[in-house]
């Protein structure tokens, strides 16, 4: 029996790490190629797909498209956060085709929008992104993936999804996380 306890403990630890390990694998939507243009629909869809949890609402899809379009215009890339399945990609494409293209800007400049899957209840300041304002994100603590050590400069993607599920529009949710930014069409 004493020999089984360490083996069982190791198995439990490995099982606990499995969701984190699985989250790192992509389901077939690579980052845009370096020759993709900021206005390329394929590039926008590929970037946005990595920003959405599979169970997100349509307003979150809109928010992801806005962030993707902004970051492509700003020449900023960041590693995908979520794995996207084909059904989500179809939903995203449908939303992309039905919406006008919007970009976020601050003082008339399109600036990179950093993001993280979740915060620890508050976004943080960052010297690289000095134009961002930290905001409270208490609903992140309600998420099953909550991590008290998570640092998020910019936009908490789970936070935006939560706000959108509560009735916020994509624009309202993004303005919450990005005070001082405006949305505009190209």
State the Cα–Cα distance between residues 81 and 107, nearest whole angstrom: 28
Flag whether pLDDT at 92 surpasses 50. Answer: yes
% of the chain exceeding 70 in pLDDT: 79
- Tokens representing 115? 């993001």
Query: Please, is 47 exposed, middle or buried when counting C-beta atoms within 10 Å of its C-beta (0-12, 13-18, 19+)?
Result: buried
Confidence of residue 1 (pLDDT cuts 50, 70, 90): very low
Q: What is the pLDDT of residue 39?
A: 67
Three-state DSSP state, 100: coil
What tens digit of pLDDT does each residue of 21-40 get?
A: 223 322 333 333 344 466 68
Residue spans per domain, the chain? 35-184
């Amino acid at each position: 029996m004493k020999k089984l306890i360490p083996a069982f403990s190791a198995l439990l630890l490995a099982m606990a790490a499995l969701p984190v390990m699985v989250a790192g694998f992509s389901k077939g939507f690579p980052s845009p190629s370096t020759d993709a243009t900021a206005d390329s629909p394929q590039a926008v869809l590929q970037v946005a797909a990595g920003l959405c949890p599979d169970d997100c609402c349509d307003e979150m899809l809109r928010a992801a498209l806005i962030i993707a379009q902004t970051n492509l215009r700003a020449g900023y890339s960041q590693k995908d956060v979520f794995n996207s399945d084909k059904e989500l990609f179809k939903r995203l494409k449908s939303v992309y085709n039905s919406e006008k293209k919007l970009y976020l800007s601050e003082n008339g400049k399109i600036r990179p929008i950093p993001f993280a899957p979740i915060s620890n209840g508050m976004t943080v300041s960052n010297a690289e992104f000095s134009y961002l304002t930290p905001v409270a994100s208490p609903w992140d603590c309600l998420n099953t993936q909550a991590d008290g050590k998570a640092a998020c400069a910019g936009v908490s993607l789970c936070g935006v999804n939560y706000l959108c599920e509560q009735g916020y529009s994509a624009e309202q949710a993004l303005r919450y996380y990005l005070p001082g930014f405006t949305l505009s069409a190209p």
